[in-house]
Structure 1
Amino acid sequence: MPGIKKWGALSLSLALVAAIAAGCGSSGNNGNNANQASNASKPGNAGAANDAGSKPDESLKPLKITFFDKNTGDAFTNDVAQEITKRTGVTVEIQQPTGNPTEKLNLMLASDDLPDIVLMDRGGDIVNKYISTGALIPLDDLIDKYGPDVKAMYGDTLNKTRYTDGKNYYLSNWYGMSEGEPVFGFNLKMNFLKELAPDKAAGGQPFTADEFEQLLKDFKAKYPTVNGKPTTALTMDGSNMGAVTGTFKGMFGMKTYYETDGKLQYDVEDPKYKEMILYMNKLYTEGLIDTDWAINKKESWLQKLSSGTVFGSTGAYWDLGTANTALKKDGGEDAEFFDYKVVGPDVDPAKTTYGPQGSLGWDAIGITKANKNPERTMQFINFLASEEGQYLLQWGVEGKHWDMVDGKHVPKPEVLQGFKDDWNNYSKTTGIRKWTWFIKAGKGSDGTVYDLAGRYDRSEIDKMAIKNLGDSVWNTDTYDNLGPQGGTPEALISQKVNDIMTQNITKAIIAKNAAEAGQVFDKMLADMKAAGSEKIEKIINDNYQDRLALWK
């Protein structure tokens, strides 16, 4: 799924997951209000920005802005870049890090050598460091005066991304919910599935846990080898445990935390989590899960999938893109993996949780204290955040890359083909989806998706995932980043607790039998408690209540 940070060569482990993708928004604020705000605040037009004191001719006066973007270091010279400069008067000097972006961000902060705008991971401690040290300036007054489109497009997201002092210090990137866009699932090879379960191959009907287990057994019985090579019923990417557990948690309807009566506990304390582990252990001891799954790296995992000897895998469907490309080339579309839902015992199929999505975005983009032109910078941001700006960033230049036909955005055929042929190079050359700033997922007021490259021309794999798992999407916002602040003693305790979980979950899955798996799991819970898990849960719950109060 391209919007969760993982589309083709732009794979993001965003996923997943981004998330993957990614990635992640509704169109609730994309209607007339957004259009009116956009028309009022375009550079050179009379409107909210000019009422605030900016003269039309001044709004296009040449200005260079330095921009630290952890995702790119390319020159700001392609078609979209030139159009942005034409529309705003702003030329962007990209300052992309060499090496680790977080290290560069910390170095810039320590040396007080800051760019005008900075883009960083929203979920990390680095954002709080930049805010608490005064490196980022509050945006509220600037948004009030120069950001009508920011208000219209972001809506309640502005309320939810406020700092503890009630102010906004950054704008989210890749924000909003992608309704009906799944994340995790059980990816099954279509040619085998059509033979083994033809009634389920077309999609729309989930497998029960027992049916899925029997399906894997049937595969091994019918296909002990393929082309003389041993087969694997189910493999997993051991280097991406989030995708492994995320898939099975989705099956059992579990979320980030185990919540009872408004109190949050670690997810492993949910009785269903142990049930999930025992189910996974059963599949493993029956020889249905790859014996080497725990040591699989992404590359070896993809190689196994590409071999044609594997029936299924966990994870986000877009992460299998490389394998599916190879399989389709050799065996056609039916040789590819398609995404299906499996439902745990006593779980309502509509309450499965395969699609965790945060609407508050992956990245944070802020104006630093080094910026000498914050007003013009906000006008620049306002244009990019507007519906018009979003279509420019993600569709390209009107007349060159797309046309407006009967009130709808229609891409040029060569643009769609360009992304199919060579995503990275075409994006770099044209600028379409290259400058991913202030990106909102979802659809514009004419009903067309903002994300042309990732969401306009959907593949059959995408369509199947949406059909089977589109009802499994849920919003993670209230649970995100509730742990202790980085650099504190509590953060060290939290890390120790997490390490205990990570190590023992794998041990329980690959245990010799159910009794041993249960013992490993029970000891894990005891070890977590001894390490201080209850202390961390108190912090999590305090932060949870503070967040709920802040968002009222």
Structure 2
Amino acid sequence: MRKKWLSLGMAVVVTAALVGCSNGGENGSGAGAASTDGKSAASADDKTPVTFTYFRFGTEKDVTASDTVLGKELQKQTGVDWKIEHVVGDAKTKSGVMIASGDYPDVIVPEGEIDKLLDAGAFIPLDELIEKYGPNIKRVYGPYMDKFRQKDGKIYHLPFSANQGYISDPNISQGAFWVQRSVLKEAGYPKIKTLDEYFDMIKAYKEKHPQVDGKDTIGFAIFAGSKDNFFTLTNPTMHLAGYPNDGGVIVDTKTLEAKVYSGTDLEKRWIKKLNDVNAMGLFDPESFVMNKDQYLAKLTSGRVLGYFGYNWQVGDATNNLKKAGIDEKRYAPLPIVFDKDIKDQYIDPPSFVNNRGIGISVKAKDPVRIIKYFDNMLTEENQIMLQWGIKDQTYSVDAKGRYYMTPEQIKQRNDPEFKRSFGWQYFEYSWPRYGNNSLLKDGNSFAVGNQPEVAYAEYTEGDKKILDAYGAKTFSEYFAKPDVRPWYPAWSINLGQGTPEQLFGQKSQDLQLKYLPKLIMSQPGQFDSLWNEYTTEYKKLDSKTYEATITKVVKERAAGK
């Protein structure tokens, strides 16, 4: 209870600081006329209070924006407040209800439902609004605009990945095979590379430590309890084969040919390994039924020895483990592949994701006020605020102008309750923004986690011990550097609702949902017959049309089109 009071108290202090530092001037977020230097075009506009509705197809607590520090400051600049809501239950059902009723919120972040909502005509075109009221939108998205126009040549949403310059991530924020640090320590910090080595190490540890606090140790878990998270089970195939996350395909860097890997020998090798792991009693049978809260609770319990996943899926769990201070129960990422001669490609190359973003709905009460709000968010000053917060309170600046965080600032940054009350939980991603790998004009990283000074400061003694054991200064350093892939990621290619390609993707996932859990949980002697049944059904799907379409777009992107 005391911790919550402290967080909210700090939010009040920061609010006061925001009010005190937001007046005009060269760098004031609400100052200046329309221009292309990062200043807002909205300062002289109507600031009559208004509240719009914002709906995101993601899971989070609902909130009124002005109840957060960041939302309150943006309201002060613009007069605009938001009722922020999130999906409850199945996303596909919710989007279907929206479309059938025509009852849309003012603004929608559709996530995986974007094609369905675009085809239903849920969004208004933004071209004229951007031209009239969006100098900062044009500054940030200008080089990318042709990449997210729809077939009619118009823009209906603003993506979240418009990089301004480039800086790599010092840590692993995407996918990896993760292992509990106590396992690495007991094994003597070996250089584990292959899938077999990974599971041999987990098996040896579990045999010595069958229980934690009176409960059975879990060798390996995976979060695949719903359609929305089933990719956590299917994606490892491409990573193990030495490819980054291109979605349902792997792309040859020389020929640029895209090939589906589902139902292939590569997928068989991965799923058969999990079948073997299950037979050894290492696989968590609840992987296909537990919800996210149950999964995160298992990771924080100290019982799970290893898992595959994307770091952004488990943020609350990893933060809670770090706060608990039991370093050996935290997890370390490993660049696991099938064979020793395979070069891992877990780290994303520079990319532009064009099929995720935010759009203004056809039911929006005042699209002009909304687009001006978006444009105001994209001033460099506001982009700094939305990521870093307030100078000398949530971050600091050294004599050379480098941004960093003190231990106390890092602690509050990682406090889920503070992130919600301050507003980072709601504003640091799902709005018009710079891309994660962007650099600010002064050379600092846009994303806090990519700032080397912050990454180094966050490392515990346990982190440093692992890095020293592997001869690295950051966790990404012992992963291979990404190869150039100008099309990346292929999963962002817009296939359109009801197309043969989209139907293939749907039917492919349906087959995987039906067969992969059965294959993993089956008796080893039943595996081959079940696999033959699965691939027989899979071969009936039109994978060739899908591959040809993806290949065509990959080649166009590689040619700069």
One-letter amino acid of the counterpart of residue 114, structure 2: G
1:538 aligns with 2:548: no
- Residue 444 (structure 1) shift: 2.0
- Residue 360 (structure 1) shift: 1.9
1:430 aligns with 2:415: no
2:7 maps to: none
* Conserved 8 A contact 2:92-2:113: no
* Conserved 8 A contact 1:478-1:544: no
Q: Distance in 2 between matches of 1:112 and 1:433?
A: 29
One-letter amino acid of the counterpart of residue 384, structure 1: M
- Residue 121 (structure 1) shift: 2.2
Pick from 197, 202, 206 the counterpart of residue 216 of structure 1.
Answer: 202
SS in structure 2 opposite 1:277? Answer: helix
Pick from 152, 161, 167 the counterpart of residue 165 of structure 1.
Answer: 152
2:518 maps to: 507
SS in structure 1 opposite 2:359? Answer: strand
SS in structure 2 opposite 1:159? Answer: helix
- Summarize the Cα distance change of 1:40–1:278 in structure 2 as closer, same or farther, 3 Å threshold: same
* Conserved 8 A contact 1:209-1:342: yes
- Summarize the Cα distance change of 1:77–1:292 in structure 2 as closer, same or farther, 3 Å threshold: closer
Residue identity (%): 22
Q: Which digits, 9 at most, give the CA deviation of each residue in 1:113-145, with x for residues without a partner?
A: 555544332653344135xx3x53332343344
2:388 maps to: 395
Q: Distance in 2 between matches of 1:453 and 1:478?
A: 21
2:332 maps to: 338
One-letter amino acid of the counterpart of residue 239, structure 2: G
* Conserved 8 A contact 1:182-1:466: no
Which residues of structure 2 form unaligned runs of 5+? 1-24, 468-473
Normalising by structure 2, we get a TM-score of: 0.72
Q: Which digits, 9 at most, give the CA deviation of each residue in 1:461-484, with x for residues without a partner?
A: 698643444746997845225586
Moved more, 97-106 or 327-336: 97-106
SS in structure 1 opposite 2:309? Answer: coil
Q: Distance in 1 between matches of 2:27 and 2:156?
A: 24
2:345 maps to: 352
Q: Distance in 2 between matches of 1:362 and 1:183?
A: 18
- Residue 163 (structure 1) shift: 0.6
2:45 maps to: 59
Normalising by structure 1, we get a TM-score of: 0.73
* Conserved 8 A contact 2:55-2:109: yes
1:380 aligns with 2:367: no
- Residue 171 (structure 1) shift: 0.7
- Summarize the Cα distance change of 1:163–1:522 in structure 2 as closer, same or farther, 3 Å threshold: same
- Residue 333 (structure 1) shift: 1.0
Pick from 65, 79, 84 the counterpart of residue 90 of structure 1.
Answer: 79
Q: Distance in 2 between matches of 1:292 and 1:102?
A: 24
* Conserved 8 A contact 1:175-1:361: no
Pick from 182, 186, 189 the counterpart of residue 180 of structure 2.
Answer: 189
Moved more, 357-366 or 73-82: 357-366
2:476 maps to: 466
Q: Which digits, 9 at most, give the CA deviation of each residue in 1:524-546, with x for residues without a partner?
A: 1211223xx11x54155336535
Q: Distance in 1 between matches of 2:334 and 2:46?
A: 51
Moved more, 41-50 or 121-130: 41-50
1:235 aligns with 2:245: no
Q: Distance in 1 between matches of 2:174 and 2:35?
A: 40
2:241 maps to: 252
Task: Describe how 1:85-164 pairs up with structure 2 within 5 A.
Answer: 85-87=75-77, 89-94=78-83, 96=85, 99=88, 116-121=106-111, 124-129=114-119, 133=121, 135-164=122-151
* Conserved 8 A contact 1:235-1:293: yes
1:479 maps to: 490
* Conserved 8 A contact 2:41-2:133: no
- Residue 392 (structure 1) shift: 2.2
One-letter amino acid of the counterpart of residue 178, structure 2: N
Q: Distance in 1 between matches of 2:333 and 2:53?
A: 39
SS in structure 2 opposite 1:235? Answer: coil
- Summarize the Cα distance change of 1:490–1:399 in structure 2 as closer, same or farther, 3 Å threshold: closer
Q: Distance in 2 between matches of 1:227 and 1:413?
A: 31
Q: Which digits, 9 at most, give the CA deviation of each residue in 1:41-60, with x for residues without a partner?
A: 9755244389xxx9987436
- Residue 309 (structure 1) shift: 4.2
1:23 maps to: none
SS in structure 2 opposite 1:187? Answer: strand
One-letter amino acid of the counterpart of residue 208, structure 1: T
- Summarize the Cα distance change of 1:447–1:378 in structure 2 as closer, same or farther, 3 Å threshold: same
SS in structure 2 opposite 1:207? Answer: coil
CA RMSD of aligned residues (A): 4.3
Moved more, 206-215 or 352-361: 352-361
Q: Which digits, 9 at most, give the CA deviation of each residue in 1:470-520, with x for residues without a partner?
A: 74699784522558644578866653432222222223333433x643332
One-letter amino acid of the counterpart of residue 235, structure 2: G
1:29 maps to: none
Q: How many positions carry a matched residue from both structures?
A: 496
SS in structure 2 opposite 1:439? Answer: coil
Moved more, 283-292 or 385-394: 283-292
- Residue 435 (structure 1) shift: 2.9
SS in structure 2 opposite 1:69? Answer: strand
One-letter amino acid of the counterpart of residue 448, structure 1: N
- Summarize the Cα distance change of 1:305–1:74 in structure 2 as closer, same or farther, 3 Å threshold: same
Moved more, 323-332 or 148-157: 323-332
- Residue 373 (structure 1) shift: 5.6
Q: Distance in 2 between matches of 1:166 and 1:59?
A: 30
- Summarize the Cα distance change of 1:299–1:216 in structure 2 as closer, same or farther, 3 Å threshold: same
Q: Distance in 1 between matches of 2:44 and 2:214?
A: 72
Q: Distance in 1 between matches of 2:364 and 2:292?
A: 41
* Conserved 8 A contact 1:41-1:383: no
- Residue 280 (structure 1) shift: 3.0
SS in structure 1 opposite 2:64? Answer: coil
- Residue 315 (structure 1) shift: 1.9
- Summarize the Cα distance change of 1:281–1:136 in structure 2 as closer, same or farther, 3 Å threshold: closer
Q: Distance in 2 between matches of 1:364 and 1:483?
A: 13
* Conserved 8 A contact 2:175-2:309: yes
Q: Which digits, 9 at most, give the CA deviation of each residue in 1:34-83, with x for residues without a partner?
A: xxxx9799755244389xxx998743653636242326431425443343
Moved more, 256-265 or 432-441: 256-265
Pick from 413, 417, 442 the counterpart of residue 419 of structure 1.
Answer: 413
Q: Distance in 1 between matches of 2:64 and 2:260?
A: 42
- Residue 365 (structure 1) shift: 2.0
Q: Distance in 2 between matches of 1:326 and 1:375?
A: 41
SS in structure 1 opposite 2:339? Answer: coil
SS in structure 2 opposite 1:164? Answer: coil
SS in structure 1 opposite 2:54? Answer: strand
Which residues of structure 1 form unaligned runs of 5+? 1-37
SS in structure 1 opposite 2:536? Answer: helix
1:17 maps to: none
- Residue 348 (structure 1) shift: 2.3
One-letter amino acid of the counterpart of residue 541, structure 1: A
* Conserved 8 A contact 2:241-2:342: no
- Summarize the Cα distance change of 1:274–1:395 in structure 2 as closer, same or farther, 3 Å threshold: same
- Summarize the Cα distance change of 1:155–1:312 in structure 2 as closer, same or farther, 3 Å threshold: same
Q: Distance in 2 between matches of 1:211 and 1:108?
A: 48
